[in-house]
């Protein structure tokens, strides 16, 4: 009887630990993508910036412990990658009113924690797992391992910042009571007889509309505005694509080519497959280099 009890105990406790390990599958902390490294080398771990950034994004040491909070210059860890993306977002854009979709003032206000016309106060946190790139709920922007694991396509500074924009825009929708759909804040797709799932031109289960607007139609600082119609409005994926496009084509001269190329690739992919009334704009030249 004693042996059976011991075996049952091992199975129960071991199973519980196993479930916990699976649920908390940790992000890869072994490498940074070339785009992350190239951008990193432009600042060489700028301490004044991350000591500003952690407050500007409302970061809490409890959330980021074990992820580079106490090793903020180790660029293979999650927190350094997070603030590397913020560095790009804060300083990397050209802000040409005659060419850029929006200005740094718009993208910063969307991503940063402070309450403004863009959203009520938010804060950035992190969680393990690979089921999402990011999420927004109740003031918390959570980013997940696909934005930090160096082998994944979205583990680069532009895509990470693009996710800050996307989730920040869900906070905008919450502030102004907009309904963007039932699939995690997007419109769901419908499964077709061939097994594919589509909604108009959108091919994933999380579709948005693209609210086309010209350049200079929003003065810098006015991205938050809307007139209640499709004439002056943005969706989360659209804000993300416009940010990525501005990184790709309207960046400061010093922004590395690897960062710009990864941003263009992400923008073009999203524009092709995430909009019901798509495609969104294509970004930049189709010349290979």
Q: How far is the CB of 285 from other proteins (least distance, A)?
A: 6
Q: How far is the CB of 9 from other proteins (least distance, A)?
A: 6
Residue 193 as a binder of other proteins (CB under 8 A): the answer is: no
Consecutive H or E run containing 134: strand 134-137
Phi, psi of 207 (to 5 degrees): -100, 150
* Rg over CA atoms, the chain: 20
Binding mask 250-289 for other proteins (x = CB under 8 A): -xxxxxxxx-xxx--x--xx--xx--xxxx-xxxxxxxxx
Count of residues engaged in binding other proteins, rule: CB under 8 A: 135
31 versus 222: smaller Cβ distance to other proteins: 31
- Report the residue from 29, 106, 182, 186 that binds other proteins according to the rule CB under 8 A: 186
215 to 254, contacts with other proteins by CB under 8 A? 215-217, 226, 228-230, 233, 245, 249, 251-254
- Sign of the Cα torsion 275, 279, 283, 286 reads positive
Q: How far is the CB of 203 from other proteins (least distance, A)?
A: 6
Cβ atoms of 12 and 116 within 8 Å: the answer is no
125 to 164, contacts with other proteins by CB under 8 A? 127, 130-133, 138-139, 146, 150-153, 155-156
Residue 52 as a binder of other proteins (CB under 8 A): the answer is: yes
Cβ atoms of 251 and 94 within 8 Å: the answer is yes
Six-digit token string for 5 = 């009890």
Residue 25 as a binder of other proteins (CB under 8 A): the answer is: no
Q: How far is the CB of 234 from other proteins (least distance, A)?
A: 10
Q: E strands within 64-137?
A: 123-126, 134-137
Q: How far is the CB of 114 from other proteins (least distance, A)?
A: 5
**3-state per-residue secondary structure call for 42-72:** HHCCCHHHHHHHHHHCCCCHHHHCCCCCCCC
- Report the residue from 27, 35, 141, 223 that binds other proteins according to the rule CB under 8 A: 35
d(CA 199, CA 210): 13
């Amino acid at each position: 009887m004693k042996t059976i009890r011991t075996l049952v105990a091992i199975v129960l406790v071991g199973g519980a630990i196993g479930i916990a390990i699976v649920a908390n599958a940790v992000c890869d902390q072994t490498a940074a993508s070339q785009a992350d490294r190239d951008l990193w080398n432009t600042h060489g771990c700028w301490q004044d910036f991350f000591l500003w950034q952690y407050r500007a994004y409302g970061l809490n040491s409890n959330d980021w412990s074990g992820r580079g909070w106490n090793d903020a210059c180790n660029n293979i860890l999650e927190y350094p990658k997070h603030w590397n993306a913020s560095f790009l977002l804060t300083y990397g854009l050209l802000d040409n009113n005659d060419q850029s979709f929006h200005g740094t003032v718009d993208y910063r206000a969307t991503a940063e924690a402070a309450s403004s016309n863009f959203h009520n106060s938010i804060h950035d946190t992190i969680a393990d797992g690979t089921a999402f790139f990011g999420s927004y709920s109740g003031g918390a922007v959570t980013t997940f391992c696909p934005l930090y694991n160096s082998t994944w396509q979205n583990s680069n500074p532009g895509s990470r910042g693009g996710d800050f924009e996307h989730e920040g825009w869900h906070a905008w929708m919450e502030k102004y009571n907009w309904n963007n759909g039932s699939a995690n804040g997007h419109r769901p797709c419908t499964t077709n007889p061939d097994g594919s799932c589509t909604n108009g031109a959108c091919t994933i289960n999380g579709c948005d509309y693209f609210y086309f607007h010209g350049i200079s139609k929003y003065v810098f600082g006015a991205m938050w505005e809307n007139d209640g119609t499709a004439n002056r409005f943005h969706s989360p994926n659209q804000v993300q694509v416009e940010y990525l496009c501005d990184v790709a084509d309207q960046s400061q001269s010093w922004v590395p080519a690897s960062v710009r190329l990864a941003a263009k690739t992400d923008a073009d992919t999203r524009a092709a497959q995430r909009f019901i009334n798509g495609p969104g704009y294509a970004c930049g030249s189709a010349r290979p280099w």
